[in-house]
Every structure is written in C-alpha cells, then in structure tokens.
C-alpha cells in the first residue's frame, strides 16, 4: 500500500499521503510512541483510528509516522496501523536514534522530536500529539531534559499538545522554551494547560483564539526566516478534564511511590503514568484519549488554515 521513495533512504509514503501531497491538501503528522508505549492493545488502535478519522473529518489528511523494519513511514494504512498497535518491543526513537532504527532495520516508534523530524522531511508543518516531553522534576540535580525541547528550538513544525505532561516540572519547561526562543501559544485560554487539567496555574506566554491566527503567526515567522517550531497548547475540554487540585494529589502520591520503590531513569515516566492510571481508576487514560482527539481536531483546523 506504500511506495519507497529512494533506494538510499528507505522512506515510504502511504497512498493517502502521496495523493494529499500531489493535490496540496493539508496534512497533519501524528506520532507513534503513543501507540506502542502509551496505551495497551486494542485501546491504542481504537485511539489511533479515531484520531485519524477526526483529522479527515476536518478536511485534512493524517500522516502517522513510524519506522517499521527499517523503513521510515509517513502515513500508515490500516493494516500497518493494526500491526504497529500489536508490536512488542519497538524502540522509542528520538533525534539521536531515528536514523539508528532505519540503519539497523529495526521498528521504532517516534517521539515528539523524531516525529517533528519526519514531518519536516515530508513537508508536513502541523503535528498533533498528547503532551510534549520537557524538564523532569529534579532536573536541577539530574539534568534530565527531553530532546523534544531541543527539537522545538530547531525544527519548523507546529506541535499541538495539551501542554507538557504534568508529571514534569512545568515552570522549568516554560523557562527552557523561553530561553530557546520557542513560542508557546495557548489556544483560547490565558493559562498554560497541564495535560489532564485545563490550567497549570501558570500564565501562557502567548494566547491566540483561532486556527487562522495561529497559521498567520507561523507564516510571519517563516517570512522573517525565524527557524524552529511552535508549541500550541490546547486545554483538554472541560467535560474531560481532571482538575489540577485533584491531579496534584495523584501526582504527588505517584512521585512518593516511585521514590519508595527506588524507580530511576527511563523507568520513572511509565511508572508514574501507570500509578496515576490506577489512582484515578482509569480516568487519566480517558482524559488522555480525549485530549489527543481534541488536539487532532485543532491541528487539522490549523493545517487547513495554512493551506489557504
């Protein structure tokens, strides 16, 4: 269902993306880590299909990005999506190792950073995700900061998210984005959201109230020759949110448990998310799905506005 564009760089566009590019239709990139590492089968497949459907309903074309057996896919057909949703042991690839997965003929799910690189390579300027990585709590001691922030400083893609995952240090994440010159625009709200919650308690650096305004802002950036990406923070709908006061209790408890159980390094984030899932009786996952769908809708609207 896909074609390889080059014998040297194994890249495959789905038929739908190929057709969209040919007619200049608006495209929205999607990451694959949420599919392979974010939720279990078959919920992950349902979420992935629902997000793609929303993007099509809004008049844009979805392009889920992943490395499958060493081929960089820009857009997956339904059989590929289903297979990826059942894959075990996929790498989680970022800027440092996207090319590694290709070179070593591995299967790799793309993080925000690697999806941005794939999107930019394919000429896709808008990307919908759940939450970006950021500055980890205690990063003042560990220096643990996601490569997503570096990528936002470098690569000209609009990333639509519900903020940074609230288990991170959000004030420090906003500071690093400011230092690196990344615009942070909250959609239709003066406050920066906190993933599961509509409000992090922190004012948003910038606010815009329409997809057209966001598209225009990005167009001016490009004409000025300002490179790097833009973060659009889209608060989860009120009916789906878990308010901040409530979430903070769960997050604190999850952090305490992680310390008690001596969880460190790469194990911390999945441990925290699982603990929060348990503490909220699964509401955190329902909110996660709702916010990804909400972001897909806004990303499609922005892509449509940019194509005008």
Two structure tokens written together for 238? 């009120």
Distance CA(24)–CA(189), nearest Å, equals 31
Residue 67 pairs in a beta bridge with 72, 108
Nearest to 128 by CA among 191, 51, 197, 212: 51
Total interface residues for a copy of itself by CB under 8 A: 57
In degrees and rounded to multiples of 5, residue 17 shows phi and psi of -70, -40
Is 261 labeled as ligand-binding? no
| Residue 112 assigned ligand-binding role | yes
Q: Quick check: 96 binds a copy of itself (CB under 8 A)? A: yes
Which of Mn ion, a copy of itself, none does residue 89 bind (CB under 5 to 8 Å by kind)?
A: none
And the tokens for 77? 């057909």
* 144/246 with CB nearer Mn ion: 144
Q: Is 94 among the residues that bind a copy of itself (CB under 8 A)? A: yes
Looking at the Cβ atoms of 48 and 66, the one nearer to a copy of itself is 66
The distance from CA 35 to its chain's CA centroid, rounded to whole angstroms, is 11
CA–CA separation, 125 and 113 (whole Å): 14
Report angle CA 70, 295, 193 to the nearest 5 degrees: 115
Give the integer Cα–Cα distance in Å for 116 and 294.
19
Please report how close the Cβ of residue 20 comes to Mn ion at its closest, in angstroms. Answer: 34
State yes or no: 92 annotated in a binding site: yes
Among 24, 79, 89, 224, binds a copy of itself (CB under 8 A): 224
Binding to a copy of itself in span 29-68, by CB under 8 A: none
> Which residues within the stretch 141-160 sit at the binding site for a copy of itself (CB under 8 A)?
141-147, 149-151, 153
At residue 29's C-alpha, the angle toward residues 271 and 75, to 5°, is 100
CA distance 151 to 95: 8
Coil, strand or helix: which one is 145?
strand
**Residue 77 assigned to a binding site:** no
Q: Which of residues 132-171 bind Mn ion (CB under 5 A)?
A: 144
Q: Is 144 annotated as a binding residue?
A: yes
Calpha distance 191→158 (Å, rounded): 19
Q: Does 210 bind a copy of itself (CB under 8 A)?
A: no
What residue has token string 């760089």? 9
Residues in 242-281 at the binding interface with a copy of itself, rule: CB under 8 A: none
Which partner, a copy of itself, Mn ion, none, binds residue 92 by CB below 5 to 8 Å per kind? none
Region of 6-14, 76-84, 281-289, 296-304 interacting with a copy of itself (CB under 8 A): 6-14
Any idea which residues carry the catalytic annotation? 31, 165
Residue among 103, 190, 270, 278 that touches a copy of itself (CB under 8 A): 103
Contact window for a copy of itself (CB under 8 A) among 32-40, 41-49, 52-60, 210-218: 210-218
CA angle in degrees (0–180, nearest 5) for 251-252-256: 115
Strand 27-30 and strand 61-68: the pairing is parallel
Kindly state the smallest distance separating residue 114's Cβ from a copy of itself, in Å: 9
The site for a copy of itself (CB under 8 A) is made up of 6, 8-9, 72, 94-100, 102-104, 113, 117, 121, 135, 139-147, 149-151, 153, 171-172, 175-185, 205-206, 208, 213, 216-217, 219-221, 223-226
Site residues, Mn ion (CB under 5 A): 144
């Amino acid at each position: 269902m896909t074609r390889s564009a080059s014998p040297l760089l194994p890249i495959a566009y789905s038929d739908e993306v190929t057709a969209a590019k040919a007619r200049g239709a608006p495209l929205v990139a999607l990451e694959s880590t949420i599919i392979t590492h974010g939720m279990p089968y078959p919920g992950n497949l349902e979420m992935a299909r629902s997000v793609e459907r929303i993007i099509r309903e809004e008049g844009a074309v979805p392009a889920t990005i992943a490395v499958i057996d060493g081929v960089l896919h820009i857009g997956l057909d339904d059989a590929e999506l289903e297979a990826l949703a059942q894959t075990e042991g996929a790498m989680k690839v970022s800027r440092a190792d996207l090319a590694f997965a290709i070179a070593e003929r591995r299967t790799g799910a793309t993080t925000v950073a690697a999806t941005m690189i794939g999107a930019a390579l394919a000429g896709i300027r808008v990307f919908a995700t759940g939450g970006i990585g950021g500055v980890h709590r205690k990063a003042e001691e560990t220096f643990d900061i996601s490569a997503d922030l570096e990528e936002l400083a470098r690569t000209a893609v609009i990333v639509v998210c519900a903020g940074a995952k609230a288990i991170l240090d959000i004030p420090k994440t906003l500071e690093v984005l400011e230092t690196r010159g990344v615009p942070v625009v909250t959609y239709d709200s003066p406050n920066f959201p906190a993933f599961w919650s509509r409000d992090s308690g922190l004012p948003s650096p910038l606010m815009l109230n329409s997809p057209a305004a966001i598209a225009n802002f990005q167009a001016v950036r490009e004409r000025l020759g300002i490179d790097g990406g833009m973060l659009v923070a889209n608060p989860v709908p009120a009916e789906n949110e878990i308010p901040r006061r409530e979430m903070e209790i769960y997050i604190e408890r999850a952090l305490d448990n992680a310390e008690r159980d001596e969880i460190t390094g790469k194990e911390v984030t999945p441990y925290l998310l699982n603990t929060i899932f348990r503490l909220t009786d699964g509401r955190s996952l329902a909110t996660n799905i709702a916010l990804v769908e909400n972001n897909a809708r806004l990303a499609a609207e922005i892509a449509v506005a940019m194509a005008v």
